[in-house]
């Protein structure tokens, strides 16, 4: 599903590479934590998968497509197979929960009729039934992140990337979000989550990949934060 | 649905930053008006050249002491000449009658000139008005000729003035176009900045590049079209003022601008206005959004 082959990424003007000859493979349906200190290269990993940055050397393969050689005009379509959730939610403040999710459908060419059918369904799935018409500022942090998860998942992507999704949430809310991601993972979606949250990693007991200074220092099938 | 979305974005975009929009439209209008005036003048001068060059003659004035033999030999030479299309002879009485007719507005001038003071002449129409120099060279050896006047020379002076006016209009059009393009680029940047959250989400969920760019590009193109319509109205009003009625300032100098040429300006200006500002917007977005 995801494969990095000997990938090195050095940003211009950086003294050392953010990722240094990393090779890693993630199978379909896996749930993987990426952990490591700030600046260790976790975010670069996410950006490589989204084709936001290009590797300096090596190959990045996502959904059996070589991202490194992908033509720029194919990237938008490619991104539709990946859902993304971020620490800061990235919701549109002037749109309701329903509209935020529907927006993601509309801009990739789905009709309003499709949105009317699919959006309530996915909002129900993330536990926001009845709050469709609230604006982000009328929702709690956890609820806002649920909207973001709904938006990421509404296209039924093959991969869900979560970049510190619980970074702004209290422990109880974080656990609820993790249950949600776990549920999405059980539908067959590959989930890749970057986090600092040791409690969550220890509770979930999933595969843990630890990065330090751009190198993988640990890759454990049912790991803990360490 | 998508069309409705895009059109709505365009309207909201134009209204969001209405002062910039107005500045953009005004500069576009001035630029397009100048462009339209330049093109119209160009077409007009071309047409006038056709009309006037068809009418002009070379006047071969004879000396006062010309003999009958000289006159006959000159006439024969002109009739034989392959450059000459037609030839008419004007004696002193005819010249005076014509003089009276042309200057009938100025009786003082007419009374000041005695009948018979004007020289007799041959009026020559050339097959090709450009061959005047050749004819002049061929007539050099003939005796009895006073002066040869080529009307084309007078006309070229007039056309040279029109040419300069036209070039000036074009220079103003280009200068204003540069200002307009900078304003378009700036407006689009502001628009893209105010919608940066939407754009970020669109890119994240995989909206196609054209879908992200279309509202901005169409916004610029709409401004271009509005500018071209105002410019067309300005040209139309300008024509009415300059050519309308007998008192119009240019009626005596220029032939009237045909309606067809006038209406040709609307699609021309709209295409130039929309095309140029749309392309500018698209280039701006390529650098600004990196989509």
Q: What is the pLDDT of residues A138-155, one digit of tens each?
A: 999 999 999 999 999 999
Q: Does B198 touch chain A (CB under 8 A)?
A: yes
* pLDDT on residue B26: 92
Q: What is the pLDDT of residues A199-214, one digit of tens each?
A: 999 999 999 999 999 9
Given an 8 Å threshold on Cβ–Cβ distance, is A107 in contact with B197?
no
Tell me, yes or no, whether B168 and B213 share the same domain: yes
Residue B150 lies in a domain: no
Tell me, yes or no, whether B44 and B169 share the same domain: yes
> Looking at the 3D structure of chain B, how many domains does it have?
2
Q: Does B104 touch chain A (CB under 8 A)?
A: no
| ∠ Cα A80 A81 A82 (to 5°) | 90
Query: Which residue of chain B is at minimal alpha-carbon distance from A151?
Result: B205
Query: Which residue of chain B is at minimal alpha-carbon distance from A148?
Result: B201
* pLDDT on residue B272: 94
Tell me, yes or no, whether B186 and B250 share the same domain: yes
Q: How many CB atoms lie within 10 A of CB B157?
A: 9
Tell me, yes or no, whether B163 and B41 share the same domain: yes
Tell me, yes or no, whether B180 and B106 share the same domain: no
Tell me, yes or no, whether B119 and B161 share the same domain: no
Chain A CB contacts of B196 under 8 Å are none
**Which member of A84, A92, A107 has the closest CB to residue B197?**
A92
| Residue where a domain terminates, one of B122, B143, B164 | B143
Tell me, yes or no, whether B18 and B132 share the same domain: no
| Residue where a domain terminates, one of B143, B169, B194 | B143
Interatomic CA distance for residues A185 and A192, integer angstroms: 10
Given an 8 Å threshold on Cβ–Cβ distance, is B204 in contact with A84?
yes
* pLDDT on residue B105: 74
Residue B59 lies in a domain: no
Interatomic CA distance for residues B20 and A115, integer angstroms: 35
Given an 8 Å threshold on Cβ–Cβ distance, is A107 in contact with B204?
no
Q: Does A90 touch chain B (CB under 8 A)?
A: yes
The interface pTM score, or ipTM, of the predicted complex is: 0.87
In chain A, positions 124-183, which contact chain B (CB-CB < 8 Å)?
A: 151, 155
| Residue where a domain terminates, one of B113, B143, B173 | B143
* pLDDT on residue A140: 95
* pLDDT on residue B250: 66
Tell me, yes or no, whether B173 and B259 share the same domain: yes
Chain B CB contacts of A106 under 8 Å are 1-2, 5
What DSSP designation does A100 have? H
Interatomic CA distance for residues A152 and A161, integer angstroms: 9
Residue B57 lies in a domain: no
Residue B219 lies in a domain: yes
Residue B79 lies in a domain: yes
Chain B CB contacts of A92 under 8 Å are 197-198, 201
The model carries a pTM of 0.74
Interatomic CA distance for residues B6 and B113, integer angstroms: 77
Tell me, yes or no, whether B123 and B233 share the same domain: no
Task: Determine the distance from the C-alpha atom of residue B107 to the mean position of all C-alpha atoms in its chain, rounded to a whole number.
Answer: 37
Contact A158, A81 (CB under 8 A): yes
Interatomic CA distance for residues B263 and B236, integer angstroms: 9
Q: How confident is the model at residue A183 (pLDDT cuts 50, 70, 90)?
A: very high
| ∠ Cα A40 A41 A44 (to 5°) | 160
The SS3 assignment for A149 reads: helix
Tell me, yes or no, whether B110 and B244 share the same domain: no
Tell me, yes or no, whether B132 and B174 share the same domain: no
Given an 8 Å threshold on Cβ–Cβ distance, is A76 in contact with B207?
yes
Q: Does A76 touch chain B (CB under 8 A)?
A: yes
> How close does chain A come to B202, measured CA to CA in Å?
7
Task: Identify the residue among B196, B205, B213 best suited for mutation to test binding to A, counting A beta carbons within 10 A and taking the highest.
Answer: B205
> How close does chain B come to A37, measured CA to CA in Å?
25
Percent of chain A predicted with pLDDT > 70: 100
Task: Give the closest residue to B229 by CA, choosing from B172, B267, B192, B197.
Answer: B267
Residue B207 lies in a domain: yes
Residue B58 lies in a domain: no
Task: Give the closest residue to B229 by CA, choosing from B54, B17, B3, B25.
Answer: B25
| A-B Cβ pairs (cutoff 8 Å, strict) | 49
Given an 8 Å threshold on Cβ–Cβ distance, is A77 in contact with B208?
yes
The mean of the pLDDT values for chain A is 92
Lowest mean pLDDT among A8-17, A70-79, B62-71: B62-71
The SS3 assignment for A163 reads: strand
Contact A172, A203 (CB under 8 A): no
* pLDDT on residue B102: 77
Tell me, yes or no, whether B161 and B25 share the same domain: yes
Domain residues for B261? 2-52+156-288
**pLDDT tens by residue, chain B, 291 residues:** 567 777 888 888 888 778 888 988 999 999 999 999 888 888 888 777 777 777 778 888 888 888 888 888 888 888 888 888 888 888 888 888 888 887 777 777 778 888 778 888 888 888 877 788 788 888 777 778 888 888 777 778 878 888 888 888 889 889 988 988 998 898 888 888 888 899 999 989 989 888 889 889 998 999 999 999 999 999 999 888 887 766 666 666 667 788 888 899 999 999 999 999 999 999 999 887 764
Residue B149 lies in a domain: no
- Written in H, E and C, the secondary structure of chain B is CHHHHHHHHHHHHHHHCHHHHHHHHHHHHHHHHHHHHHHHHHHHHHHHHHHHHHHCCEEEEECCCCCHHHHHHHHHHHHHCCCEEEEEEECHHHHHHHHHHHCCCCHHHHHHCCCCCCCCEEEEEECCHHHHHHHHHHHCCCCCEEEEEEHHHHHHHHHHHHHHHHHHHHHHHHHHHHHHHHHHHHHHHHHHHHCHHHHHHHHHHCCCHHHHHHHHHHHHHHHHHHHHHHHHHHHHHHHHHHHCCCCCCCCCCCCCCCHHHHHHHHHHHHHHHHHHHHHHHHHHHHHHCCC
Chain B CB contacts of A79 under 8 Å are 203-206
> How close does chain A come to B5, measured CA to CA in Å?
9
């Amino acid at each position: 599903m995801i494969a990095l082959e000997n990938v090195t990424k050095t940003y211009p003007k950086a003294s050392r590479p953010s990722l240094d000859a990393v090779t890693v493979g993630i199978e379909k349906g896996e749930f993987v934590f990426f952990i490591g200190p700030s600046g260790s290269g976790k975010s670069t990993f996410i950006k490589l998968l989204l084709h936001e940055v290009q590797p300096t050397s090596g190959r990045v393969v996502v959904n059996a497509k070589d991202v490194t050689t992908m033509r720029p005009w194919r990237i938008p379509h490619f991104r539709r197979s990946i859902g993304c959730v971020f620490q800061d939610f990235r919701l549109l403040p002037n749109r309701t929960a329903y509209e935020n999710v529907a927006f993601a459908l509309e801009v990739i060419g789905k009709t309003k009729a499709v949105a009317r059918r699919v959006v309530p369904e996915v909002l129900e799935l993330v536990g926001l039934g009845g709050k469709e018409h609230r604006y982000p500022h009328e929702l709690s942090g956890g609820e806002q992140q649920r909207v973001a998860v709904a938006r990421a998942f509404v296209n039924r992507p093959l991969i869900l990337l979560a970049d510190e999704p619980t970074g702004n949430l209290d422990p109880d809310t974080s656990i609820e979000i993790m249950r949600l991601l776990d549920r999405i993972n059980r539908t067959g979606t590959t989930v890749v989550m970057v986090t600092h949250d040791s409690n969550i990693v220890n509770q979930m007991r999933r595969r843990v990949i630890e990065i330090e200074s751009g190198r993988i220092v640990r890759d454990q099938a049912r790991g803990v934060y360490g | 649905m998508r069309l409705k979305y895009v059109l709505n974005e365009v309207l909201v975009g134009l209204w969001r930053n209405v002062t910039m929009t107005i500045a953009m439209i005004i500069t576009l209008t001035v630029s397009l008006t100048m462009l339209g005036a330049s093109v119209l003048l160009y077409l007009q001068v071309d047409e006038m050249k056709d009309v006037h060059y068809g009418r002009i003659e070379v006047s071969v004035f004879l000396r006062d002491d010309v003999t009958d033999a000289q006159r006959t030999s000159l006439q024969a030479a002109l009739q034989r000449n392959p450059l000459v299309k037609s030839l008419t002879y004007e004696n002193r009485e005819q010249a005076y009658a014509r003089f009276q007719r042309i200057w009938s507005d100025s009786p003082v001038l007419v009374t000041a000139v005695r009948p018979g003071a004007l020289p007799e002449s041959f009026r020559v129409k050339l097959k090709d008005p450009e061959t005047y120099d050749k004819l002049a060279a061929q007539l050099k050896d003939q005796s009895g000729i006073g002066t040869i006047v080529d009307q084309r020379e007078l006309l070229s002076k007039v056309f040279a003035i029109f040419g300069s006016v036209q070039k000036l209009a074009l220079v103003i059009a280009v200068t204003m176009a540069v200002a307009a393009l900078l304003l378009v680029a700036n407006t689009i940047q502001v628009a893209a900045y105010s919608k940066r959250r939407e754009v970020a989400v669109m890119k994240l969920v995989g909206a196609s590049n054209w879908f992200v760019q279309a509202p901005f590009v169409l916004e610029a193109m709409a401004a271009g079209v509005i500018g071209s319509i105002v410019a067309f109205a300005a040209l139309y009003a300008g024509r009415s003022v300059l050519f309308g009625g007998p008192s119009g300032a240019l009626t005596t100098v220029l032939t009237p601008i045909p309606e067809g040429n006038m209406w040709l300006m609307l699609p021309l200006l709209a295409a130039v206005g929309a095309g140029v500002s749309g392309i500018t917007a698209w280039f701006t977005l390529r650098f600004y959004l990196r989509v």
